[in-house]
Amino acid sequence: MKRYKEVFLSVFLLMLLIPLVALASYTANQYPNVPPIEKMHPNGKYIVYVEKGDKWQEAGIISCDKYFREREIDLRGYITNRGNVSIRLLHQGGGAAHIDSVFLGDRSPIEVRGIKNGLKKLSEKDFDVIDVFNKSIDITFSSDIGNSILKLTARVEDTSISKVPFQFPVLNVYKEMNLKSKFYTYEMGSRNTETPFFKEYSLSGSGHPSGYTYGWVRNDDTNLYVRIDFTPDNTMDGDKDYAKVYVKTERGIREFKVSVPETKWGEVSFVYTDKVTYQHKVYDFAIPLKEIGINDAKEADKVNLAFAAYGTATPATPLLNSTYTTAVPIIDGNYYSVANEWPSNTAEAALEISGPIHTLVYLKNDNNFLFMMVNAASVSGDYTEENQDHCTVYIYKNKKGLRVTVFGDGTKFCEATSSVSNPLIWSTITCPAGVMAADGFGPSPEKPADHRMYEFKLPLSAIGAVPGDIIYFASPLDLPGSLPFNYNSNSFVYNIWPPAATANNLNTWGQIQLGNGPSAIPSLNKWGIIIFIVLAGLGATYYMRRQKTAKSY
């Protein structure tokens, strides 16, 4: 009995530790929410060759998506323990490609050819990466291998990626900069240059590491100096990367941009700092005070500042929450069709778009449908009723997408896609059973004056979704369409959400977390299932042994 208890406890502890060991090199703070390998859609690949005499023999292929993942390939039959082992990795397909580490068994390389500082960068899984886009690299390992498993930690970006920058303050993320944006206040003449002026956690959605972005600000009699230490950007992407400083002045917002080719206001470097252990982007600005309306630094008081940084490192996809409901809304374009149909408290909106059209979006779902109210209210809402007004929403999951548009005259049409991955290709269809969409013009809690609003009822079955799922959601400008579109006497005003969304690129979309009903049965994740099977097996073994022992008496 004691022996079985010991086995039970040992296996249980082992199963708990395996996932911790597997993720030991990347902390949860640096690399959260990486999808499981089963859901990976490869963007490109690395072809693995082993040197045999004076020839290179292809040994296999490792496919990758945008995330740094450790993938393995067994080179048994291609290598021996006699002499050093030389391996060539050739990138093909997709966009930018980066390698973090390469190991043969538990051995790091002894030589890396063709890449500057390659040996240092590839000997540890630490986000200190090399660029291998359309390149090949040759790596040598010592002869005393004892293990034929090649372990490659690498990524390949999609050919179409998000162009949305990180914004600071973070409340500006996914919003256009304007006079209503949030700003920090810098006091001229501040002497404390040790403590960062701002420090914000930047959750990456591009496959780059998440981490803090730091900013320091100081001034002298001539210039305003800004340093931005952008730790999520561990890749050198040339003129794609940039940082910006926004200054709110009496004449509006001034924008100052620095990138590799744009050095009028400062310079960019790809360096190591004391903030993280890997090479990354740092931006230094020197902005003349006269450019921001300050002629005498001693007489100036405060300056309102905001910042942006883009490194092909982009913010994580915005996630909206849908509330589970058993009270089905009436889809007629009216906010008040029945009591409590939609929240009376505007703070309960799942999404607020500040402009160009101030819009509140409310989300509900039951077991079968997603319900949506798009309310174009407030000061910059839509207060004109025109047949050309319209609203379009896109949802996608499980290789299925649905687009629904409703016009100001009540006309609606649908499109669908069955694309496996980007780019999504859409075609017009007869709207699926259950699809409802209505335009409206009336009051709401946000504004008593009549204004535009739209309601949608979208069948979850059209995209293979169920309560509790996370689905993609967007409203790009793909005429006709947006969230919403105000015809405005042929002078068009419209929202795009997320701001960089395009109809054919899921990387630019947001997501919706569908609410779970009270009767939903919780499911086990992969490790939960494994642990359950092990425990069940141990229990069954123990039971059979007990039965056998009992029968022997």
Which tokens in the block code for residue 39?
């859901």
User: How many whole angstroms separate alpha carbon 301 and alpha carbon 278?
Assistant: 38
pLDDT over 90 for what percent of the chain?
A: 57
Number of domains comprising the chain: 4
Does the pLDDT at position 13 exceed 90? no
Is 220 among the domain residues?
yes
Does the pLDDT at position 481 exceed 80? no
Q: In b/e form, how buried is each residue of 86-102, taking b as 16+ CB within 10 angstroms? A: bbbbbbeebebbbbbbb
State which of 310, 343, 363 marks the end of a domain: 310
Residues 418 and 479 in one domain: yes
At 85 the three-state DSSP class reads strand
State which of 156, 187, 208 marks the end of a domain: 156
pLDDT interval class at 59 (50, 70, 90): very high
Does the pLDDT at position 23 exceed 50? no
The average pLDDT across 146-173 equals 91
Residues 26 and 46 in one domain: no
Domain that holds residue 85: 37-156
Query: What is the edge-to-edge ordering of all strands in the sheet holding 280-288?
Result: 198-202, 211-219, 223-230, 280-288, 266-271
Residues 46 and 114 in one domain: yes
User: How many whole angstroms separate alpha carbon 467 and alpha carbon 460?
Assistant: 9
Is 62 among the domain residues?
yes
Q: pTM for the full model?
A: 0.71
pLDDT interval class at 19 (50, 70, 90): very low
Residues 152 and 171 in one domain: no
Q: What's the pLDDT at 420?
A: 66
User: Which single residue is written with the structure tokens 């006309």?
Assistant: 411
Range in 255-264, 312-321, 358-367 with the lowest mean pLDDT: 312-321
| Phi then psi dihedrals of residue 395, to 5 deg | -135, 155
Q: What's the pLDDT at 94?
A: 95
State which of 310, 340, 364 marks the end of a domain: 310
Residues 361 and 221 in one domain: no
Element (H, E) at 17: helix 2-22
Residues 107 and 180 in one domain: no
Is 161 among the domain residues?
no
Q: What's the pLDDT at 191?
A: 72
pLDDT in tens, 446-478: 888 888 999 999 999 999 999 999 999 999 876
HEC readout, 224-291: EEEEEEECCCCCCCHHHCEEEEEEEECCEEEEEEEECCCCCCEEEEEECCCCCCCCEEEEEEEEEHHH
Residues 369 and 233 in one domain: no
Name the residue with higher pLDDT: 359 or 258.
258
Residues 50 and 26 in one domain: no
Q: Across all residues in the chain, what is the average pLDDT?
A: 86
Kindly report the CA angle at 459 between 454 and 464, in degrees rounded to 5? 135
Whether residue 401 contacts residue 414, with contact meaning beta carbons closer than 8 Å, is answered with: no
Q: What's the pLDDT at 536?
A: 59
Is 257 among the domain residues?
yes
Is 552 among the domain residues?
yes
105-112 long-range contacts (CB < 8 A, ≥24 apart) are 105/145, 105/146, 105/147, 105/148, 105/149, 106/147, 107/141, 107/142, 107/145, 107/147, 109/139, 109/140, 109/141, 110/84, 110/140, 110/141, 110/142, 111/139, 111/140, 112/137, 112/138, 112/139, 112/140
pLDDT over 70 for what percent of the chain?
A: 87
Q: Is the peptide bond before 445 cis (omega within 30 degrees of 0)?
A: no
Name the residue with higher pLDDT: 23 or 331.
331
pLDDT interval class at 552 (50, 70, 90): very low
Does the pLDDT at position 20 exceed 50? no
DSSP codes of every residue in 331-363: -SS-TTSSTTSS-SSGGG-SEEE-SSS-EEEEE
Q: What's the pLDDT at 543?
A: 53
The average pLDDT across 324-335 equals 93
Contacts with 303 (C-beta within 8 Å, 6 or more apart), sequence order: 185, 186, 188, 224, 247, 292, 294
Whether residue 470 contacts residue 514, with contact meaning beta carbons closer than 8 Å, is answered with: yes
Q: What's the pLDDT at 18?
A: 37
Does the pLDDT at position 274 exceed 50? yes
Residues 199 and 259 in one domain: yes
User: How many whole angstroms separate alpha carbon 492 and alpha carbon 369?
Assistant: 31
Residues 422 and 509 in one domain: yes
The CATH number that applies at residue 388 is 2.60.40.1190
Whether residue 201 contacts residue 211, with contact meaning beta carbons closer than 8 Å, is answered with: yes
Contacts with 220 (C-beta within 8 Å, 6 or more apart), sequence order: 297
| Among the listed residues 184, 219, 179, 178, the one whose alpha carbon sits nearest the alpha carbon of residue 198 | 184
Contacts with 481 (C-beta within 8 Å, 6 or more apart), sequence order: 390, 391, 392, 403, 405, 475
Is 518 among the domain residues?
no
Contacts with 216 (C-beta within 8 Å, 6 or more apart), sequence order: 193, 196, 197, 225, 226, 227
Is 230 among the domain residues?
yes
Does the pLDDT at position 58 exceed 70? yes
User: How many whole angstroms separate alpha carbon 402 and alpha carbon 458?
Assistant: 9
Q: What's the pLDDT at 480?
A: 54
Q: How many CA atoms lie within 13 A of 72 on its CB side?
A: 9
Name the residue with higher pLDDT: 381 or 62.
62
| Among the listed residues 383, 392, 440, the one whose alpha carbon sits nearest the alpha carbon of residue 412 | 392
User: Across 323-327, 480-484, 548-552, which has the greatest mean pLDDT?
Assistant: 323-327
Residues 333 and 459 in one domain: yes
| Among the listed residues 182, 35, 57, 74, the one whose alpha carbon sits nearest the alpha carbon of residue 526 | 35
**Which amino acid, 57?**
Q
Does the pLDDT at position 528 exceed 60? no
pLDDT in tens, 394-452: 999 988 999 999 998 999 999 998 766 667 889 999 999 999 999 999 988 888 888 89
Range in 33-42, 241-250, 518-527 with the lowest mean pLDDT: 518-527
Q: What's the pLDDT at 519?
A: 53
Residues 26 and 59 in one domain: no
Contacts with 166 (C-beta within 8 Å, 6 or more apart), sequence order: 173, 202, 213, 230, 232, 308, 309, 310, 313, 314, 315
